[in-house]
């Protein structure tokens, strides 16, 4: 038992492990950089870094081929902490080394937390428009809305990944079960009567009975997004209520009545509701006089919280985001001939950690260098005085 424990400890505190992990991370970054051409930055991050194992499809089956970023980074973190705990001796002479390594540990933890917690949304506003939610740039959700109440909507939001998993979904608030008959990560829809040789209608209810669904290859380009679709069947106690085609291309929710209530159904960009609303008062796209060269983009918005405590105008422009209620609103883009502003909305509770980590590492190196430098001077003084 003692032997096993010793080998356990030695494995984690060894410098060999550190070097091996650093070598593996170099290979991982190299491979990911090459693959970024095919997948784009987001998919590469998910495939190589925010995963334990890198999977490679071989004849359609994902085969683990290499340790992922979480695995390598996690082990590095364990290695670093364990080595310090094992060899720890409190000494001022090592203060700089402690500080530098503590900074490194914080950097690794910060990246892990960013990976776990960071969420990115977009807030797209036409001039004069008010919204109290932002939409995910990549994630989608199936919203099943109880719209019976004249003032409120009761929303059940099912993540797209649950649809992709294909398992029946039962939610206590819904009087029916949701069964995913088919799921398409990227698809377009067209009216059947406008297509020669249109395939069979994918659904029996609402607009889906008149549409043709055309599956498309998923896109990995940074400036494009996949528009998923699914055919879902709802089952009440009496049996099937019908099948619906849901697609992010369909903007209007599909409405039906069941169990004395009015329901709406929509596959949409994942929404993040906030207890405040933002109105775009004016979007400005300034150009250098006499040219089309952009000088500045800015959005004048009005921020109003539901509790009435905040009610003010804010100017968001490049490098001057609005930070409010744990979210950061950046000026990201614009559309519709300068009539629409697109704000990037980022939720990252650990955004300060990398800054603190770099500060600690920088300070640690300065301290350690200074300790050696002053030690060297002291030594020279002693030598000279002899």
Least gap, CB of 331 to other proteins (angstroms): 13
Q: Closer to other proteins by CB, 68 or 103: give it.
A: 68
Strands 61-67 and 53-58, how do they pair? antiparallel
Least gap, CB of 34 to other proteins (angstroms): 22
The CA-based dihedral angle spanning residues 190, 192, 197, 203, taken in that order and rounded to the nearest 10 degrees? 100
According to the binding rule CB under 8 A, does residue 286 interact with other proteins? Answer: no
Question: What Rg value do the Cα atoms of the chain yield, rounded?
Answer: 28
**Subset of residues 322 to 341 that bind other proteins, contact rule: CB under 8 A:** 332-337, 339-340
Q: Which of 63, 116, 318, 359 binds other proteins (CB under 8 A)?
A: 116
Other CB atoms within a 10 A radius of the CB of residue 123 amount to: 23
In the beta sheet, which residues pair with residue 57? Answer: 62
Burial status of residue 385 (CB atoms within 10 A of its CB: 0-12, 13-18, 19 or more): exposed
In the beta sheet, which residues pair with residue 125? Answer: 341
Packed helices 353-385 and 95-117: angle between N→C axes, nearest 10 degrees: 170
Q: Which residues contact 39 (CB under 8 A, 6 or more apart)?
A: 47, 220
Q: Closer to other proteins by CB, 159 or 326: give it.
A: 159
Least gap, CB of 216 to other proteins (angstroms): 7
DSSP character at residue 226: -
According to the binding rule CB under 8 A, does residue 158 interact with other proteins? Answer: yes
State the DSSP H helix or E strand holding residue 32, giving kind and residue range, or none if neither.
helix 15-44
> Residue 297: what are its φ and ψ, rounded to 5°?
-115, 135
- Give the contact letters, 55-94, x = binds to other proteins (CB under 8 A), - = no: ---------------xx--xx--x----------------
Q: Closer to other proteins by CB, 171 or 318: give it.
A: 171
Q: Which of 20, 29, 102, 162 binds other proteins (CB under 8 A)?
A: 162
Please report where in the chains the tokens 């500060």 appear, as a residue: 359
According to the binding rule CB under 8 A, does residue 342 interact with other proteins? Answer: yes
Q: Which of 207, 314, 315, 365 binds other proteins (CB under 8 A)?
A: 207
Q: Which of 238, 252, 257, 307 binds other proteins (CB under 8 A)?
A: 252
Residues that bind other proteins (CB under 8 A): 3-4, 7-8, 11-12, 52, 70-71, 74-75, 78, 112, 116, 122, 124, 126-127, 129, 132-133, 135, 137, 147, 149-159, 161-162, 169, 171, 173, 188-191, 194, 207, 211, 216, 219, 223-225, 227, 247, 249-252, 269, 273, 292, 332-337, 339-340, 342
């Amino acid at each position: 038992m003692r032997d096993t424990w010793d080998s356990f400890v030695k494995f984690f505190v060894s410098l060999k492990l550190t070097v091996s992990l650093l070598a593996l991370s170099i290979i991982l970054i190299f491979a990911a950089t090459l693959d970024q051409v095919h997948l784009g930055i987001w998919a590469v991050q998910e495939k190589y870094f925010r995963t334990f194992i890198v999977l490679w499809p071989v004849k359609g089956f994902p085969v683990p081929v290499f340790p992922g970023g979480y695995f390598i980074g996690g082990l590095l973190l364990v290695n670093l902490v364990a080595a310090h705990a094992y060899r720890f001796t409190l000494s001022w002479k090592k203060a700089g080394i402690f500080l530098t390594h503590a900074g490194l540990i914080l950097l690794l933890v910060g990246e892990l937390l960013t990976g776990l917690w960071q969420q990115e949304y977009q807030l797209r506003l036409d001039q004069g428009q008010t919204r109290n939610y932002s939409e995910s740039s990549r994630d989608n959700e199936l919203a099943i809305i109880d719209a019976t109440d004249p003032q409120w909507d009761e929303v059940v939001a099912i993540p797209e990944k649950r649809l992709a998993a294909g398992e029946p979904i039962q939610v206590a608030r819904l009087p029916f079960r949701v069964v995913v008959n088919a799921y398409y990560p990227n698809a377009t829809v067209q009216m059947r009567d406008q297509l020669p040789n249109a395939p069979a209608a994918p659904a029996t209810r609402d607009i889906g009975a008149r549409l043709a669904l055309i599956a498309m290859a998923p896109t990995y380009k940074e400036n494009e997004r996949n528009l998923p679709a699914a055919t879902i069947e709802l089952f009440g106690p009496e049996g099937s209520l019908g099948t619906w085609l849901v697609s992010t291309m369909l903007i209007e929710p599909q409405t039906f009545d069941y169990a004395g209530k009015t329901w709406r159904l929509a596959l949409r960009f994942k929404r993040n509701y906030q207890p405040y609303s933002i109105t775009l008062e004016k979007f400005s796209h300034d150009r250098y006089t006499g040219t089309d060269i952009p000088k500045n983009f800015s959005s004048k918005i009005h921020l109003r919280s539901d509790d009435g405590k905040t009610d003010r105008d804010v100017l968001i422009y490049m490098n001057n985001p609005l930070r409010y209620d744990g979210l950061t609103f950046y000026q990201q883009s614009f559309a519709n001939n300068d009539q629409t502003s697109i704000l990037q909305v980022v939720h990252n509770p650990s955004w300060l950690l990398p800054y603190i980590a770099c500060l600690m590492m920088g300070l640690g190196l300065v301290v350690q260098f200074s300790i050696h430098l002053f030690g060297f001077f002291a030594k020279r003084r002693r030598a000279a005085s002899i």
